[in-house]
């Protein structure tokens, strides 16, 4: 990742819909253009975050699975 996140959110141990709800609350606390990183352990979160960023207009810069720990890097767009 080339850009340091403004905010890192820990959603490990939470299941749907909690990682998305934490992301929604957290993304509202950063300024437009800033980057948030969220870490989760819910395997369904990969599809959830792709759909959430598409529907909200935020930019999913990175989504990676590192042995069951999912990291999402999201730029606030609006």
Q: Is residue 43 part of a domain?
A: yes
pLDDT score, position 36: 97
H or E element that contains 45 = helix 45-56
List, by residue number, the catalytic residues: 16
Q: Is residue 45 part of a domain?
A: yes
pLDDT score, position 3: 77
Is residue 11 within 8 Å of 38, Cβ to Cβ? yes
Q: Is residue 46 part of a domain?
A: yes
β-pairing, 35-40 with 70-75?
antiparallel
Q: Is residue 2 part of a domain?
A: no
Question: Which residues in the chain land under pLDDT 50?
Answer: 1
Q: Is residue 1 part of a domain?
A: no
Q: Is residue 38 part of a domain?
A: yes
pLDDT score, position 2: 60
CATH number (domain holding residue 36): 3.30.110.40
**Residue 58's domain spans which residues?**
7-75
Q: How many domains does the chain have?
A: 1
Q: Is residue 65 part of a domain?
A: yes
């Amino acid at each position: 990742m080339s850009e340091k996140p403004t905010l890192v959110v820990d959603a490990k141990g939470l299941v749907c819909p909690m990682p998305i709800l934490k992301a929604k609350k957290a993304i509202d606390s950063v300024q437009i253009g800033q980057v948030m990183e969220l870490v989760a352990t819910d395997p369904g979160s990969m599809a959830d975050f792709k759909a959430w960023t598409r529907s909200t207009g935020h930019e999913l810069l990175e989504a990676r699975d590192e042995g069951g720990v999912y990291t999402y890097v999201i730029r606030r767009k609006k």
